[in-house]
């Protein structure tokens, strides 16, 4: 089944982890995929190669979306390669956990510049390029937007902002047939999370609290995002979809 046949999708932060899984799932569903990355060129090209080996269409495009000046060139490249854009997945993001007395302006700006500012201006550019058929924006949030953890005040607040932006833009853009939704993953095993100190014990504890008894895998999130990107979710907008195995 190719639910995204003839669609062009931009997946930000797609060189690894959840973003890579989304890009590959989209390609399996028939979309032409732009694999955006900021620094991991080798990994992004590996994602593209895996897609092409399976007969899909993909291209890697570098852009640091925390810098507004790099967003328009990203979409110019999309236009050059595929002629249009139909779907944007705002997956690019950073996370860092610090107690209140250790928070610095740099810590704050690093997360807000990408997780919030980058998402807004990427969405703005995408919406300006959607044609009369409308479009689809899917934002990657987190369960911490409504269940924040200690030492995560800055990160959790960026994700709460993402959910507020999602609901506001869904109301604003619905009349133009543009759908906007958030996906809120729970703990997911990725290259980034696996490198965190003490993560094995941390994940074991979370798995024990999760009704489905395990932490997530990138493919779990990709499956939800692919549904939201498809016409099967044509009556779904302004929603915050928990993809957590039941953890809340």
168 dihedral zone (left: phi>0; alpha: psi -120 to 50; beta): alpha
DSSP per-residue codes, 56-99: -EEEEEE--TTSGGGHHHHHHHHHHHHS---EEEE---------
End-to-end CA distance of the chain: 32
Q: How far apart are CA 57 and CA 70, in angstroms?
A: 23
Paired with 57 in beta bridges are 32
Q: Which residues contact 119 (CB under 8 A, 6 or more apart)?
A: 65, 90, 92, 139, 162, 165
Residue with tokens 């990138």: 218
User: Could you confirm whether 242 is annotated as catalytic?
Assistant: no
Q: How far apart are CA 48 and CA 44, in angstroms?
A: 6
Token pair belonging to 43? 């990994």
In 3D space, the residue among 231, 228, 85 whose CA is nearest the CA of residue 166 turns out to be 228
**Given 37, 95, 112, 155, which residue is catalytic?**
155
Catalytic residues: 155
């Amino acid at each position: 089944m190719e639910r995204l046949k003839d669609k062009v999708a931009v997946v930000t932060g797609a060189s690894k982890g959840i973003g890579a899984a989304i890009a590959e799932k989209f390609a399996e569903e028939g979309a032409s995929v732009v694999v955006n990355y900021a620094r991991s060129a080798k990994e992004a090209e590996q994602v593209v190669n895996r897609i092409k080996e399976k007969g899909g269409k993909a291209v890697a495009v570098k852009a640091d979306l925390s810098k507004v000046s790099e967003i328009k060139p990203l979409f110019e490249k999309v236009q050059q390669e595929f002629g249009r854009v139909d779907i944007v997945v705002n997956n690019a993001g950073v996370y860092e956990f610090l107690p209140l007395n250790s928070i610095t302006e740099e810590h704050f700006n690093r997360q807000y510049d990408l997780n919030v500012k980058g998402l807004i201006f990427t969405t703005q550019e995408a919406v300006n390029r959607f044609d009369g058929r409308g479009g689809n924006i899917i934002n990657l949030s987190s369960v911490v937007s409504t269940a924040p953890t200690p030492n995560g005040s800055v990160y959790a607040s960026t994700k709460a902002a993402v959910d507020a932006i999602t609901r506001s833009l869904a109301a604003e853009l619905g009349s133009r047939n543009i759908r906007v939704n958030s996906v809120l993953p729970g703990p997911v095993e990725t290259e980034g999370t696996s490198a965190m100190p003490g993560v094995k014990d941390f994940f074991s504890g979370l798995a024990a609290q999760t009704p489905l008894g395990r932490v997530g895998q990138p493919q779990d999130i990709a499956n939800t995002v692919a549904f939201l990107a498809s016409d099967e979710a044509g009556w779904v907008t302004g929603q915050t979809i928990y993809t957590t195995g039941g953890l809340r």
